[in-house]
Amino acid sequence: MKTNTIAAIATAMSSSGIGIVRISGEEAFEIIDKIYKGKERLSKAPSHTIHYGHICDGDQVIDEVLVMIMKGPRSYTAEDTIEIDCHGGVLITKKVLETVLKYGARPAEPGEFTKRAFLNGRIDLSQAEAVIDVINAKNDYALKSSVKQLEGSISGKIRDIRESIIYHIAYIESALDDPEHISLDGYSDELSAAIAPLKTEISRLLKSADKGRVMAEGIRTVIMGKPNAGKSSLMNVLVGEERAIVTDVAGTTRDTLEENIRLEDISLNIIDTAGIRETEDIVEKIGVEKARNAAEEADLIIYVADGSCPLDENDEEILSFIEGRKAVVLLNKTDITMVLTVDQLKERTSHQIIPVSAKERLGIESLEEEIKNMFYQGEIDFNDEIYITNVRHKNALEGALKSLQMVEQSIENSMPEDFYSIDLMDAYEQLGSIIGEAVEDDLVNEIFSKFCMGK
């Protein structure tokens, strides 16, 4: 028979100070009593205590350990949970896990501990997704947003909106069932007034989604410029290592080179592209076309202008391309005699111009500050603001907003009240999918399959 008690290594599989083996389920204490040797039986010990002893397989001592016990429902999974802190070697941690499995547990699936926390009602689905977002956070903004979501910021807002919607659904259904005692006269005006602030709140959440995506995934950034302007040198400075080939030969970069980097509190998914110019070289021509395509989809374009020579037709093409887009202009090669000046560039573009020297690493801090101002207005206040960082949440909010708009359309067209109820219920269920109510098992399984083992 398949046991319902699971176990997994909860720390990284590498040499470290400690390794943690986590156990959760109804047989957790029965298993630990079989393998733990210490001053007392852990099943009799008070919850939320730590005990020193040894993990043993029969008479064989496996390791000297500290064992933390947490009796359900006061645990991460809301089940009896045990964490064994052993020495952090890969082999010894595996041996402790093997012993736990030998005496009755089964290997946990990816995300199964958090899945149990969700299924047992300790957290909702949006909070469960925030757990993996905390683990995968690439910058301080993403981390703060994920922690706030884990604390229930999105859950609370969604529950408030759903509570208002379900009230009106219940009222309509009651009135339709008992028209003698509950009147719907003038109710359409009342419903219309109630929907307006709900739409406003959902729209506000949706407006935060673009900024939320940038927080979670990073800013899609493309470095553009004509050949030999210093794009690859800039890429190497930002990455912090020699990733791009740098030579004095124009056209060295013939394909896109992608890296994820962190600048202070922000993340950039940065792409170094082939130099923009007319060329007969078939390979370079493909690279130039890929550069243009990448720039079309970018959140930010960094245009590197070569300060050692005047603007030419290639520069003019790029300047025309970035007009109306989020972009910053770097006047590069300030460490040598300049031919192109800041004033000359100001005559051609309204974008911010920053003098830099990629070779000498000058001006990079100013670039970082400008990017932060462009996307985060300097700093983000997490006190009251909620940011939607999850595409699934965004899609559900869009669906809910559309349903509320259909209710308004039905009111405007003087449709029967049961039409209101249908669309209100759809909005209610769309929002419910965010927190895990009215959500299919397949979706739940897909979400938790993306978690790391032991979480």
Residue 134: CB atoms within 10 A of its CB come to 16
Q: Where are the beta strands (DSSP E) in 199-299?
A: 219-224, 257-263, 266-272
Tokens linked to 301: 């374009």
Choice among 284-293, 301-310, 326-335 with the minimum mean pLDDT: 284-293
Confidence at 250, pLDDT banded by 50, 70, 90: very low
- pLDDT per position as a tens digit, 398-420: 999 999 999 999 999 988 888 89
Return the structure tokens found at 222: 């493309």
| CATH 3.40.50.300 corresponds to the domain 218-376 | yes
Instruction: Read off φ and ψ for residue 151, nearest 5 degrees.
Output: -75, -5
Ranges of each domain in the chain:
6-108, 129-212+390-449, 218-376
Amino acid residing at 418: D
Residue in 327, 262, 271, 275 with CA at minimum distance from that of residue 306: 275
Please give the share of the chain, as a percent, with pLDDT higher than 90. Answer: 42
Please report the pLDDT score of residue 159 as a whole number.
94
Q: How far apart are CA 109 and CA 115, in angstroms?
A: 10
Q: In whole angstroms, give the CA distance from residue 52 to residue 56.
A: 13
Kind of pairing between the strands at 106-107 and 219-224:
unpaired
DSSP state string for 94-159: HHHHHHHHHTT-EEPPTTHHHHHHHHTTSS-HHHHHHHHHHHH--SHHHHHHHHHHHTTHHHHHHH
The pTM of this model reads: 0.75
Q: The tokens of 67 are what?
A: 């064992």
CATH architecture, domain defined by 6-108: 2-Layer Sandwich (3.30)
Phi/psi at 144 (5° precision): -60, -40
Tokens 């390979």 sit at which residue? 283
Q: Which CATH number fits domain 129-212+390-449: 1.10.287.3510, 3.40.50.740, 1.20.120.430, 3.30.450.20?
A: 1.20.120.430
- Give 50-92 pLDDT, tens digit per residue: 999 999 999 999 999 999 999 999 999 999 999 999 999 899 9
* Residue 365 pLDDT > 80: yes
